[in-house]
């Protein structure tokens, strides 16, 4: 998820296609945990706090910064 604050205890509302995928394909349930990768070197462990037909609400539990490695040809 890009352009989202990955601060501990912050909440993220997942909508549209991403929510549909979590709800109907992955079949995520309340209180389950998922790993969020933002593509900028950060990952966050988040817990599902609420699910509706079209939205998933996540709470950030933990954030980690990872060193970025560049591929050398």
- pLDDT of 39 strictly over 90: no
Q: Give residue 7's pLDDT.
A: 82
Give the containing element (helix H, strand E) for 36: strand 33-37
Q: Tell me the two tokens of residue 17.
A: 């296609």
Predicted local distance difference test score (pLDDT) of residue 42: 87
Q: b vs e for 32-67, b when ≥16 Cβ sit within 10 Å of the residue's Cβ?
A: eeeebeeeeeeebbbebeebeeebbbbbbeebeeee
37-41, 46-50, 66-70: which has the minimum mean pLDDT?
66-70
Average pLDDT over residues 55-62: 96
């Amino acid at each position: 998820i890009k352009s989202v604050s990955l601060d501990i205890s912050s909440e993220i509302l997942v909508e549209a296609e991403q929510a549909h995928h979590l709800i109907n394909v992955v079949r995520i349930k309340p209180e389950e945990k998922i790993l969020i990768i933002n593509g900028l070197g950060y990952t966050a462990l988040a817990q599902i706090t609420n699910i509706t037909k079209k939205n998933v609400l996540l709470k950030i539990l933990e954030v980690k910064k990872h060193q970025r490695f560049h591929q050398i040809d």
